[in-house]
Structure 1
Amino acid sequence: MRVRFTSASRRRNPSGREWLPEGDAAGSWLTFAPPSVKGKLLSESTRFASDFGMGRRFFIGLMAVLPQVAAAAPPADPRDEIAAGRTAGGALALFREGVALSQEGRWAEALERFEAARKLSPNWALPHIEIAVGHMMTDNDREAIGRSLAEAVRLGAEIPRAHYLYGVYLQESGKRAEALIEFVRALQLRPSLVDARYRLAALYVEEGRQEEGIRQYEYVLQSRPGHAGAIRDLAVLYEQSGQIERAEEQLKKLVEFEPKNARPLLELASFYQRVGLPGKARAAQEKAERLEPAPGRRNLRPLPKSRS
């Protein structure tokens, strides 16, 4: 999986090196400058900007201090670059092993690989995400899940899945306002993320923002017309808001999507009964009774008569 770095904000690569946006002072030289040197340069630039403004004098002063800072910079040690490359490569190899193990359902072993990758590259967001998922699939350690996802969001602010999973964690922890923010951010990054939109719709309804909830459910069905949960929730919201024909339309969709399942017909019959259409209710009920039992249900044999 490739992580894209943009020039909009500071990012870190898997080896922990800081990448600067394009156009930062001192260009590529500053990118690789040691932290002490970088700090001196930035402090000098701040002082000049404060004293003389962002005009001609600032740039004259900045050019004057650059040679002094460059002279103080220690020469780069090639061994540091080699070690950083090996660390990043080792973390990537461990991460890939973890992904392969998780696909086989061997989550405990996968979790070990993701933890090892995190230790090698602590500023890489992806291992933190998979560590959280690994805990979800094994011991459901809520503290570890929350800690890993919070770190993933901090390190990988551009990763929609990190925001979505953190939103799920916050929602299940009763922090609805914070969860809503994370779902919105996930959808800003990837509008096609249907699961995030479905949960956002439910949160809007829970917060009393019914119209916004309806709009989000409608977006879900545009992307995934057969989403049964969204269809049912939207039917309820339409009925509550007096849009009876639209509610009926949604419930009929369920019948079409599951023609051999009696449950959608029973739901439609119950709806007709509530809105005062007994003839339609009776017809839907009769159709449901003619169908085979829904998956997972069995016809039980009648109990033998008691001998007493």
Structure 2
Amino acid sequence: MGIIITQAIANGACAIIGEKNIDSLPVPYIQVSNSRKALGIISNVFYQNPSSQKVMIGITGTNGKTTTSLLLNHIMESNGHSCSLIGTIQNKINGQVYKSNNTTPGTLALQKLLSDSQDEIVIMEVSSHGLSQYRIEGIKFDYCLFTNLEHEHLDYHKTMDDYFRAKLLLFDYLKDSGQAIVNRDNIWGEKLIRVLNEREIVVHSMGHSDINALQITDLNIENSIIKLAEIRDTFYISSPMIGVHNMYNTVMAYSVAKLLRIDKNNIINSLKDFQGVKGRFQIIRLRNGANVVVDYAHTADAIFHCLTTAKKYGA
């Protein structure tokens, strides 16, 4: 019997759950094949299945999760809906902001956050680590978003195919009526759509091709204006942040807000008031007239977009 188990029993544990064969414990022992998954199921039951009482939105992808989540949060709150945010920069529950230690918290912490939330909508960034470690076990989502997939975390996932399969896990947690929103202008997004179609999951795709539910027909990069086509309707939205990558994040947020039945014009007007994201192409103007750009970009694709945008705008 290990030291941790001994301490747990001494501290009042009434049962032990584990993966190894253990005999002669003074309390019941339940052997499982995956203890992380078991923890998620148990904690979900303990907190009385809190995700079932919310509109749950999960966002995965290499880049754009934080910006998309904050854009969507702003749109929803501007239109009278209360939102919880769980992600890289912060966790926000019932209007109170808490420090975030991981993009996706551990299972127990996550279920407690959901249980504490009295908000109508929960917007979560879901990392590949969180998915492969079963941190969201027990949670069911109404909408799952895929932004893109680029080279990152290959020290953990080893190959891009492994990385993709980890991201794909998010869509296993859709509710029966759940829907997917996917950026098709990424080769992995195209692959994801094929997989989801085979599973007969409802997919709302966005991208330049006219086969998308939301077609990007033109990007005015200089003015951050996006021309969109949707069910025989052509219109324009302004991205509140500069850069092609942020224009895609804006379209992603628009798509989800529209599915949540927010009026199109209200969405467009809400985006005009968005103040940007700290550390995401954040421009600081110095007294000497120089501009400094702060960005947490750490993947080749993200750095490319930052440098290209800075050069384009002379930031």
Which TM-score band applies after superposition, normalised by the shorter structure? under 0.3
Per residue, is there more helix in 1 or in 2? 1
Task: Please tell me whether Structure 1 or Structure 2 has the larger radius of gyration of its CA atoms.
Answer: 1
Structure possessing the higher relative contact order (Cα contacts under 8 Å, 6 or more residues apart): 2
Per residue, is there more strand in 1 or in 2? 2
TM-score by length of 2: 0.27
